[in-house]
Amino acid sequence: MHGGGLRHSEVFHLWVQDVYPDHEDPNLAVVRIYHPSEGKAPQDFKNPTTGKYITDRESYLLLKYGLLPRNMYSAQDKRFAGWKEPRLDNDENKYMHVYWLSKEWGYIFMYVWKMYMAKMLRDGIKDTHPFAFVSHSPKTLGEMMPLRTQRESHEKAVKMIGLTVGKKDGTTPHRHVYGQRLKNANIPDRIKQIAMHHKSIESQKVYTEPTVADVTASLNNATASLDNDCVIPMQTEIDAWMNEETKQQNRYRYRRK
């Protein structure tokens, strides 16, 4: 979310099979988020009736696990995770590629991912579904992690390292800070659209609008320039207006006398 610009709900559609080491740099994670139902399924399970590999994820979940894609559950079901029909990077296999900003996030993700996979093995997580992020609580061990659980854990982690939880600080699960970093790096609008997986180039404007801090900093810089060696273009006109206004007031006072 912070390094790849994914929406909070999109993260929960990640399957264990959807993380790969980069073929040129094995320490760099390649992460794909497939369409919950239409995305290409892993080639490791065949349809019991036809004997052919299942091609889509909805059929894979149903036939192998008796489950639905997470966006098909009701919003009240803790297994639910929304899907806003983002722009896909591959129309054939129907997935989003996660674009790291900066690249360091890809190395961090791979490092933590390996530790997470090892922990799943140690905890004895059973193959009851393919979703990557699961509950590690004894009562719900191995179940799909609810969005609320991750949000609460994220908030606790932020506080533990001494930071304040806030959207403007980039310390919530919201991807606003990713959009702001794209803007600050002067990334072209078309590239921002692809990186944030927006179908419309207009959609990222809400994420890249100047913040209060941006506007304040710009105005402070402008003030400093004016104070140093610039003259306000309208200054002479303002002085002339003030002089004329003073004359009119003096005439009015004289007449009253």
Give the per-residue pLDDT at 257: 59
Higher pLDDT residue, 26 or 218? 26
Task: Please state, rounded to an integer, the average pLDDT across all residues of the chain.
Answer: 87
Buried b (16+ CB within 10 A) or exposed e, 62-80: ebbeebbbbbbeeeeeebb
Return the number of other C-beta atoms located less than 10 Å from residue 175's C-beta.
20
**Would the pLDDT of 253 be above 70?**
no
104/214: higher pLDDT: 104
HSE-up of residue 154 (Cα within 13 Å, Cβ side): 18
Amino acid identity of residue 135, one-letter, is: S
Q: For residue 237, what pLDDT is reported?
A: 56
In the 8-state DSSP scheme, what is residue 199?
S
Q: Is residue 104 left, alpha or beta, with left meaning phi > 0 and alpha meaning psi from -120 to 50?
A: alpha
Block residue for tokens 């992690």: 145
Please, which pLDDT band fits residue 169 given cuts at 50, 70 and 90?
confident
Q: Where are the domains of the chain?
A: 10-209, 214-256
pLDDT higher at 221 or 192: 192
Query: Which tops the pLDDT comparison, 97 or 240?
Result: 97
Q: CA 45, CA 48: separation in Å to the nearest integer?
A: 9
More confident residue, 223 or 25: 25
